[in-house]
Amino acid sequence: MSIRPIYLDCHATTAVDERVLAAMLPYFTENFGNPSSIGHVYGWEAEAAVKQTREILAGAINATPEEIVFTSGATEANNLAIKGVAEAYFKKGQHIITVVTEHNAVLDPCNYLKTLGFEITILPVKKDGLIDLSELKKAFRPETILVSVMAANNEIGVLQPLAEIGEMCRDRQVLFHTDAAQAIGKIPLDVQAMKIDLMSLTAHKVYGPKGIGALYVRRRNPRVQLAPQQHGGGHERGMRSGTLYTPQIVGFGKAVEMALAEQATENQRLTQLRQSLWEQLSQIEGIHLNGHAQERLAGNLNISVEGVDGAALLLGLQPVMAISSSSACSSTSTAPSHVLTALGNPQQLAYASVRFGIGRFNTQEEIDIVAKHAIATIQSLRKTSFMDSRQGKRQSDLAPAD
């Protein structure tokens, strides 16, 4: 039987924790009622479970349970936030501000709105991946209705200054949305202190199930209006119709509850593993760290490697480790990562990049194995590249003159 590679792609998805699965199972077979069926015990059980998860998610971000709207994931939450605000505030203005390093689940809805006549300002980032707050300040217009900036980047792990952005938006009476899919359970989030009006969440980045997410929608100071993007039944305060998927919702709540309880110790452990991996890899020349060295997720390490072909690098690493070079949602694209090119990396260096997503189930022993294999692979590819270039030079020397 073949040995499976070490999983280091936790920004793409995570395994469902066994404790999360145990919490979910009764809601498939025993407590299987529809939470909207309020006329009997089966519905009451499901409704109570859904309510409990609302309370957990609300507590995680300092919101109220009524402000949590369940969706199928962060992509739907982002679409509901951006398109919902655009439609609801159309008469107030048609200008939205976002950032070049956002996930496509934010950039694509914004590009769609451009076809409807909206103006979209896409801010650049600095070399370290952080936005320039002075550039944001200059981008505001009287007709600006929404700013969307992700909390933690899915490729380079960079943490944006949410509180400062929120303050700037509130001063101008502009709504602030953040995609916190990678951040929930990993960093402190407070929608009141950070003045966040809409926040997208998902379960599967934090050891919960796929197919379930949520959107926080502020109810007061200010009360956010959203035009629903899915109709039929008026569920979720009319914002998102559809029967709630109780087992997934229960798993979401359990996953976030566990992540919050273990956040401080887990971040310390992940930081140590990340630093160990970086210290080992950086012993060889031509290894570049992508993103801010400190303002990043504890389990994220994104590097670019000089002197190697990107496809050959990934192919050489794959037998030992499961990793990716960019967002899993755009991994079929042949273009270099838009996030890495936004940092100013040359195209060739952006191609030769690796994202390590270290998670709950990784160990120091695995990190050492990964580092050793990565170093050997890089050195081998560089040697092969050098020999190929020498061979090409000899052949050109032997070629007859014109």
- Specify whether the CB–CB gap between 235 and 50 falls below 8 A: no
- Specify whether the CB–CB gap between 254 and 206 falls below 8 A: no
Interhelix angle for 364-398 vs 246-281, to 10°? 60
- Specify whether the CB–CB gap between 200 and 82 falls below 8 A: no
Q: Which of 152, 138, 199, 146 is nearest to 11 (CA)?
A: 152
User: Which amino acid is residue 336, in one-letter code?
Assistant: P
**Beta-bridge mates of residue 99:** 123
Contacts of 253 (CB under 8 A, 6+ apart): 23, 52, 53, 56, 57
Show the DSSP H helices in 146-211 as ranges. 162-171
- Backbone CA torsion sign across 376, 378, 382, 387: positive
Measure Cα distances from 191 to 133, 197, 240, 316 in Å.
19, 7, 21, 43
Q: Catalytic: which of 10, 110, 169, 329? A: 329
Query: What separation, in Å, do the N-terminal and C-terminal C-alpha atoms of the chain show?
Result: 58
- Specify whether the CB–CB gap between 201 and 187 falls below 8 A: no
**CA torsion, points 220, 226, 232, 237, in degrees to nearest 10?**
0
Own/partner long-range contacts of 109-114 (Cβ < 8 Å, ≥24 apart): 109/78, 109/79, 109/82, 109/83, 110/82, 110/148, 112/83, 113/82, 113/83, 113/86
Measure Cα distances from 310 to 155, 306, 334, 355, 356 in Å.
16, 10, 11, 12, 15
User: How many Cα atoms are found within 13 Å in the side-chain-facing hemisphere of 245?
Assistant: 17
User: Is 329 a residue of the active site?
Assistant: yes
Q: Give the three-state DSSP class for 199.
A: strand
Catalytic residues: 329
